[in-house]
Amino acid sequence: MNKQYPKTPENTCIFAIGDVHGRLDLLEQMLKKIRLEAKKCPQPRKILVMLGDYVDRGPDSRGVLDRLVDLQNGKILKGFEVHLLKGNHEEAMLSFLAKKDPTTWLSNGGAQTVSSYDLDPKQSLKVLRPAFLKALPKPHRKVLRALKFGMVLGDYGFVHAGVRPGVAWADQDPDDLLWIRADFLNFKQDHEHMIVHGHSPAPAPVELPNRIGIDTKAWETGTLTCLVLQGLDRRFLST
């Protein structure tokens, strides 16, 4: 791969959205922007990749999951391939439902997710967990359980958090793809692919020779970021 000029697959335009965290309002704004931007892309193949952390912290995680269902059913971006990656917050949510590590998720934004399903997060865990599982629609469960850890498109690798430096893409530990920070962020050399990631928030998109970070802390700042990749070109959309 030419590290200086990573490119997309031939005849492909890619849109990658960073961490949404319950901000349905911003996601809907971004999807409108993507529909307009897609008209500028003559490439016949159009792909949406969402980098995870759809739930928690913001006010409407339930609404965001509704939109993910709609996206996968082709109701919003007609003609797009849609790929949904797993974030550490989805992993924590699924662990909560599986009766693992029950308090960590609730104290790190899960309480807001529970509230979006009209449940009181201050209930006892014995009451809350089965109530939340019952309130979670089957399409939401299906989407959550089908989330991918990462994917490669052309010269780009897409993950939620990052990759373990020096480890081949095929050998990456899923925990690293969901949670890694310092070892990945501080690494200056090339990876196997140009890595596009979220997870580690910054005031603006981060463009470095080996990675592109697009978590702009949307739940707090109101700025949701989308990276557009078209051949050798890259640009950003924001709310």
Beta carbons of 41 and 235 less than 8 angstroms apart: no
Position 111: which residue type? A
Yes or no: domain 13-238 corresponds to CATH 3.60.21.10: yes
pTM of the model: 0.96
Q: What does the alpha-carbon distance between residue 62 and residue 115 come to, in Å, rounded to a whole number?
A: 9
Question: Tens of pLDDT along 56-96?
Answer: 999 999 999 999 999 999 999 999 999 999 999 999 999 99
Task: Report the distance separating Cα 218 and Cα 30, nearest Å.
Answer: 11
The per-residue pLDDT for 104 is 83
Q: Is the pLDDT of residue 102 over 80?
A: no
> Burial, 168: exposed, middle or buried (Cβ in 10 Å; 0-12, 13-18, 19+)?
exposed
Mean pLDDT score of the chain, rounded to an integer? Answer: 95
Distances (CA, A) of 162 to 109, 138, 233: 21, 30, 22
Report phi then psi at 48, rounded to 5.
-110, 125
pLDDT per residue over 170-202, tens digit each? 999 999 999 999 999 999 999 999 999 999 999
pLDDT at 2: 40
Q: How far apart are CA 76 and CA 122, in angstroms?
A: 35
pLDDT at 1: 39
- DSSP structure class, residue 148: B
Note the pLDDT of residue 108.
93
Between CA 169 and CA 186 the distance in angstroms is 18
Q: Residue 3 pLDDT more than 60?
A: no
Measure CA 39 to chain center: 23
Q: Looking at per-residue confidence, does 239 or 125 come out higher?
A: 239
Q: In the structure, what pLDDT confidence band is assigned to residue 162 with cuts at 50, 70 and 90?
A: very high
Residue 23's identity, in one-letter code, is R
Separation CA 179–CA 176 (nearest Å) = 5
- Tokens read off for 140: 């939401």
Each residue's pLDDT tens digit, 115-160: 999 999 999 989 999 999 999 999 999 999 999 999 999 999 999 9
pLDDT in tens, 108-122: 999 999 999 999 999
22-64 pLDDT tens trace: 999 999 999 999 999 999 999 999 999 999 999 999 999 999 9
